[in-house]
Amino acid sequence: MHNAFKFIPVALLVLGNHAPVAFAQSTPGMAERLYANAVASFRQARFPEAYGRFVQLADAGHAPSAEMALWMFKSGPKVFGSDWDSNQEQLAAWAQLARQPAPVMVARHYPQEVTAVSTRKH
């Protein structure tokens, strides 16, 4: 499997379109409980799951989650060894919620390792 796909947030894949966002908005205290779950995932080093949870809450307008999602996005390669999935519109919305400047997405080049066929071990 290609390394870039290894770090797609697991929570987004598992939850799909059944995100608890609408429920969180309609139930008092639900956003705080979901945020506590995201923090727990982070503390347990389940980073893709935590990021997915923060993203869902940030996309629903939860400012503390937007701040964490932004931090994880910006720190991805240095802290987590991977880029996190996002788009420029999400970053701008999260930055607005967190009252921070919006980061600008930049393309990165990830060179592939090339091994001569004759040196491969079978």
In this prediction, residue 6 carries a pLDDT of 44
**pTM for this prediction:** 0.67
Instruction: Provide the residue-wise pLDDT of the chain in tens; the chain has 122 residues.
Output: 444 434 444 434 433 433 444 544 556 688 899 999 999 999 999 999 999 999 999 999 999 999 999 999 999 888 988 888 899 999 999 999 999 998 887 766 666 776 666 665 65
Angle between helices 47-59 and 63-75 (to 10 degrees): 130
Q: What's the pLDDT at 23?
A: 46
What's the pLDDT score for residue 29? 85
The domain tally of the chain equals 1
Candidates 93, 94, 89; CA nearest to 72 is 94
Q: Which domain holds residue 25?
A: 3-119
Which pLDDT value is given to residue 30?
Answer: 87
CA–CA dist 68, 41 (Å, integer): 13
Among residues 24, 49, 26, which one has the least CA distance to residue 38?
49
| Confidence at residue 18, expressed as pLDDT on a 0 to 100 scale | 39
Rg of the Cα atoms in the chain:
17
Q: Is the dihedral of CA 54, 63, 100, 39 positive or negative?
A: negative
